[in-house]
Amino acid sequence: MPEQKREFPYTRQDFNQLCNLVNQHTGIQLAAGKEDMLYGRLSRRIRKLGLPSFKAYIQLLKKDEKSDEFGEFVNAVTTNLTSFFRENHHFDYLKQTVLPELMKRNRDTKKIRIWSAGCSTGEEPYSIAMTVAETMPAGWDVKILATDLDTDVLQHGETGIYDESRIEGLSKATVKRWFVRNKQHPGKVRVQPELQALIYFKQLNLLQQWPMKGPIDIIFCRNVIIYFDMPTKQTLMERYADMLVDDGHLFLGHSEAMNHMSDSYTLVGKSVYIKGGS
């Protein structure tokens, strides 16, 4: 790592130790070239804590990996890039194919369970909720579980309040139906309570034990597994398969092909898979 004039001492050993901590506790692999990114995100924590160096910060983290600061460390490192209806073709497929199929398959129970794994600040589960609300008839029991490792983004999602800039790409009809401008928060919008009622936000580390039992009809895990190594990806795909109903749908990100990860799925759409099939 080239020497740079920095506010806090930061060595190659510091970077490697932080990468190991990140990988052990989140499964995310930070590649070489992320030194500046990590410095920028963690120097704010070091400054706030009044510590002299990255070495001292690492010692603090290792002293108690269940501390509040360790949670702040994970929140600072994890990446949370998202938007409403990101990869819109997935929501078209959900509306036109998956939900109609489930209305037939689950007509006796009238129950559908959906999981947004790696939900970030909530735009994905709210996009799912809008699609569900515009597609499903009254009387159905639909619940969306939204999980993320980062407690800060979960809190943001749970409030349902966003900058107006986040909805600029949405149609006027969508904005009018599902968002409310609040005079108490200039430049902000709030999602309709009807959508919030469909979603349960919960902190979850995908690499640890999952408290939910399943079965689940649909899992969205988009732009999450790109941060994991291949053995972790393979394990995660099998755990998802165990959680899904037969012919349940798994949505991955556009750059996350299933190649060599699992034989438990069949490709049925653009980065859309079903459990089983031929």
Active-site annotation, residues: 41, 148
Distances from the Cα of 118 to the Cαs of 42, 215, 244, in angstroms? 22, 19, 17
Distance CA 92, CA 70 (A): 39
Give the up-direction half-sphere exposure of residue 242: CA atoms within 13 A in the CB hemisphere. 9
Distance CA 51, CA 59 (A): 11
The contacts of residue 214 (CB under 8 Å, 6+ apart) are: 113, 242, 243, 244, 245
Distance CA 218, CA 202 (A): 17
- State in Å, rounded, how far the first CA of the chain is from the last one: 49
CB atoms within 10 A of CB 211: 8
């069949």: which residue's tokens? 266
In terms of DSSP bridges, do strands 161-163 and 199-203 run parallel, antiparallel, or are they unpaired? unpaired
The contacts of residue 113 (CB under 8 Å, 6+ apart) are: 142, 143, 145, 214, 215, 216, 217, 218
């689950």: which residue's tokens? 106
Which strand (E) or helix (H) includes residue 13? helix 12-26
Tell me the chain's radius of gyration from C-alpha atoms. Answer: 20
The closest alpha carbon to 220, from 273, 276, 265, 143, belongs to 273
